[in-house]
Amino acid sequence: MLTGPQQIFAEAYALEANASAAYAKAYPKAKANSCRSQAPLLLAKPAIKAEIARIRAAAQERAGGAVLTLEEALTFLSDVVRTPVGKVDETSPLAQEVVYDEGPNGSSKKVKMVGKSDAMKQLADYLGWSKAKQIEMSGTGPVTITIGA
């Protein structure tokens, strides 16, 4: 049995898949550092994992398979980023629009693909890559900072 805040966390995480944001909803007085450090601890609890899975399964069942799973959405966005533009034709699931044109030189076909930049931004936002990271430090003496090891 989950506590009230744990249930709120599970519901928020099942919806957004952002642990820090879910923690902030469950514990509104928590500071950002606490959200980042405590959220993974909640996600590791078997009862919370089970509740998240139950919520997602219930949502999928209610939708009758009409809702993309998280894995399907991430796979689609990854495919958009990785697929060369020239490989997308009118039968591709990545084709957003197909326009046929009859002109004086014959017919032509234009296939519009989902934007790679937009897909990459959505992936980065979802995976937390685009969020600034704050590091707290204290002490004395020289400091060496290495970014992108």
| DSSP for 53-101, written as a single string | HHHHHHHHHHHTT-SPPHHHHHHHHHHHHHS-GGG--TTSTTEEEEEEE
- pLDDT tens for 19-52 read 898 999 999 999 989 988 999 999 899 999 999 9
Q: Which residues pair with 102 in a beta bridge?
A: 107
One-letter identity of residue 47: A
- Residue pLDDT, tens place only, 60-70: 777 676 667 77
Global pTM value: 0.49
Q: Which two tokens stand for residue 127?
A: 């995976």
